[in-house]
Structure 1
Amino acid sequence: MRSESLDFLKRLVEAPSPSGYEQPAQRVFREYISPYAEVTTDVMGNVIGRIPGGGEGLPRVMLVGHSDEVGFQVKYIDDNGFIYFAAIGGVDAHLTPGKRVRIHTATGEVAGVIGKKPIHLMEEDDRKKVVRLDAQYIDIGAGGKDEVLALVRVGDAVTFVDGMESLLGDRVASRAFDDKAGSFVVAEVLRTVAESGALLPVDLYGVSSVQEEIGLRGGTTSAYRVNPDIGICVEVDFATDQPDVEKKHNGEVKLGRGPVLPRGANINHPLFDLLSGTAGREGIPVQYTGIPRASGTDANVMQISRGGVATALVKIPLRYMHTPVELLSLSDLENAVRLIVAALPGMTGDFIPR
């Protein structure tokens, strides 16, 4: 991966963006795509980049990846200065005790830790239990409530500290690849198209959406705004090449074997065939899975926007989803970009299933 793209990915995933608090990441996305596209931001906070095609009345193609990550929100501060919090999105209560966090306040970040009773002081039965999130607390080292209130307000967002780190080969780990990996691919498609200088036979819209983790909200409003004829959602998918994931439920999905093309009710058949055929023609590795119902992604709401949209999913294999150590292969990101760019010129046909 080129160094500028890798730096963009790192800045994007490390910018805090729990659902409803996405603008630090959206500013990174907006800055990156500004040289390549006409950029607007709507009242929800969705960032939309547009590259007009070569002609009038062209099909509108919308790519979308969501910028929001799971995180926490400050709910209550007790008299001793301990901060109680609630989850934003699906956070596993097993993971949180003993983690370092950052509280994102009006005046900057405040460092904290999620405290936990030492194992020495726990009863045997308690060692086997998961501590409920509403019983966990953040300690910023304050001596009392007033000291906390001088820095932190109820409603402030909280994220894990963990940033992007390179592992062996082209594998990288970070919090928030779900789904800044998708926003990254969308941005790289816009860059690649713009730098090619070619005029596409479609009007291309690249969207970094918001509030996906709490109900596909930004995907709903951005799809209504763009009113696309064709939509591709770029998301992450459960990798099943780790020891404790059941392939019978999720299919065979491996890191480094290319992006995933699902089939199912959420996927337009002619658009799937276009993507799959493009991958074969261009020698781009892809994997296949089945989703027998509406997916839990922005593709779901895009498909049923207005009178309906021909929709497909391009997914990035990901290990350890919704943890601070999500892990992916950079080659899967690059191949997702290659696939979408190569398929765009073919998105002028009839996508009505017959």
Structure 2
Amino acid sequence: MTYTPSEFLVDLLNAKSPSGAEGQSQAVFDKYVESHSDSYERDVLGNRIATLEGNGGPSVMFSGHLDELGFIITYIDEKGFLYFATIGGHDRIIIPGRRVLIQTNKGVVKGVTGKRAVHLMNAEDREKVPKINEMWIDIAAANKEDALSRVQVGDVATYDHEFELIHGSVGAARAFDNKCGAYIVGETLRRLSADNESLKAKVISVGTAQEEIGVRGATTSSYGVNPDFAVAVDVGHSTDHPDCDKRKFGETKLGAGPIITRGPNINPIVFNKLIEAAKKRDIPYQLEGDPRPTGTDARAIQMARSGVATGLISVPLRYMHTPSEMVDLEDVEQSIRLLEGFAKDLQVGENGNW
């Protein structure tokens, strides 16, 4: 039986949206979420803030970031080769020899990331990972003038790797981190909107901007929303592959449900409510212990204003920050069910004080 992924999710995965240039993923979120919201806001950082008013219960913010890794053009040489800086945390060894798509005000320009060929290196150079300024993007330009007729400094690019099912419900994509999180929070609101009369909690699903360069959208949106509770949704490392020491990184795997985090970034009441919601609905889940502020929107949300009772769920993912991240879409579906249940279980008068 062929697995059929959500059109909303696929559209988000195919959107090109490096941090600071989230326009394509914003448009997808607008298309699928705005009409299901009681109110819908766009702010100056590019966040998308969708609200269901609920019926007198506490407010809960669900956060999933819309941005992804990318490149930004910084210099064009006389021969028409483009030099770039990375947007977000790239593994430099993965960059060369990739097809890329450059977003310009004239449309998409195709290119290839280049470096000196291995045949032209000595033995010592072959052991080194090239620095960013030792790589470039080749758009087959005749010279600088030709290149400048098509691109300009400040244009952004992404890898040309689209979503594809690999086997069953397991797929690969350029930016499961974190288009699947943005999809989960948006789809949760869509489903809750169908039964809004029985929903006590006020639900605010936020597609945040610029997470990959410092959780910037979550910082401003959580201050503005000022929720009683929050759950950030991101991806987490699935450690069920070779060369991953579980003594260092814990044990998580694809297809075993969302990862629920514990640690100082996590409010214990929120954690317990997530576990209760999962058990009540027979939702499989996994646990992660993190001893410090997490590298997710949860870090910023917890510290907004006088503090927010914050939780974190993560979709297990292999090969993070590569052009072919791998996720089991059943884990994505279970994450939506978990957020739905968490929201429905919140009652009037509850808070996260402990």
Amino acid at match of 1:303: Q
What TM-score, normalized by structure 1, do the two folds share? Answer: 0.96
Identity level (%): 44
Deviation of residue 132 (structure 1)?
0.6
Equivalent residues of 2:228, 2:351 under 8 A apart: no
Matched, 1:41 2:29: no
1:129 corresponds to which residue?
A: 128
Mapping for residues 114-125 of structure 1, pairs under 5 Å:
114-125=113-124
Quote the Cα distance in structure 2 between the aligned partners of 1:69 and 1:16.
Answer: 8
1:262 corresponds to which residue?
A: 261
What TM-score, normalized by structure 2, do the two folds share? Answer: 0.96
Mapping for residues 99-118 of structure 1, pairs under 5 Å:
99-118=98-117
Quote the Cα distance in structure 2 between the aligned partners of 1:327 and 1:312.
Answer: 24
1:29-67 residue CA offsets vs partner (Å, 9 max, x unmatched): 111102211221111100011111124xx3111000001
State how many pairs are aligned. 350
**Which range moved further: 170-179 or 196-205?**
196-205
Deviation of residue 134 (structure 1)?
1.5
2:29 corresponds to which residue?
A: 29
**Which range moved further: 195-204 or 273-282?**
195-204
Quote the Cα distance in structure 1 between the aligned partners of 2:244 and 2:181.
Answer: 23
1:186 corresponds to which residue?
A: 185
2:10 corresponds to which residue?
A: 10
Quote the Cα distance in structure 1 between the aligned partners of 2:344 and 2:101.
Answer: 44
Residue 18 of structure 1 aligns to a residue whose secondary structure is coil
1:297 corresponds to which residue?
A: 296
**Which range moved further: 122-131 or 290-299?**
122-131
Residue 198 of structure 2 aligns to a residue whose secondary structure is coil
Quote the Cα distance in structure 1 between the aligned partners of 2:351 and 2:202.
Answer: 16
The 4+ residue runs of structure 1 with deviation greater than 3 A are: 196-199
Quote the Cα distance in structure 1 between the aligned partners of 2:293 and 2:35.
Answer: 35
Deviation of residue 2 (structure 1)?
8.6
Amino acid at match of 1:126: D
Mapping for residues 1-354 of structure 1, pairs under 5 Å:
3=4, 6-37=6-37, 38-55=39-56, 58-348=57-347, 349-353=350-354
Deviation of residue 220 (structure 1)?
0.3
Amino acid at match of 1:139: D
Residue 272 of structure 2 aligns to a residue whose secondary structure is helix
Amino acid at match of 1:101: V
Deviation of residue 197 (structure 1)?
4.5
Quote the Cα distance in structure 1 between the aligned partners of 2:11 and 2:77.
Answer: 34
Residue 194 of structure 2 aligns to a residue whose secondary structure is helix
Quote the Cα distance in structure 2 between the aligned partners of 1:169 and 1:301.
Answer: 36
Residue 61 of structure 1 aligns to a residue whose secondary structure is strand
Residue 101 of structure 2 aligns to a residue whose secondary structure is strand
1:61-120 residue CA offsets vs partner (Å, 9 max, x unmatched): 100000110111000000000000000010111001111001110111100001232322
Equivalent residues of 1:250, 1:289 under 8 A apart: no
Quote the Cα distance in structure 1 between the aligned partners of 2:143 and 2:153.
Answer: 15
**Which range moved further: 197-206 or 25-34?**
197-206
- Structure 1: runs of 5+ lacking an equivalent: none
Deviation of residue 122 (structure 1)?
2.1
Quote the Cα distance in structure 2 between the aligned partners of 1:337 and 1:21.
Answer: 26
Q: CA RMSD in A?
A: 1.3
1:218-275 residue CA offsets vs partner (Å, 9 max, x unmatched): 0000001111010000010011001022212221110000000010001110111111
Residue 35 of structure 1 aligns to a residue whose secondary structure is helix
Residue 219 of structure 2 aligns to a residue whose secondary structure is helix
Residue 73 of structure 2 aligns to a residue whose secondary structure is strand
Equivalent residues of 1:271, 1:310 under 8 A apart: yes
Equivalent residues of 1:20, 1:211 under 8 A apart: yes
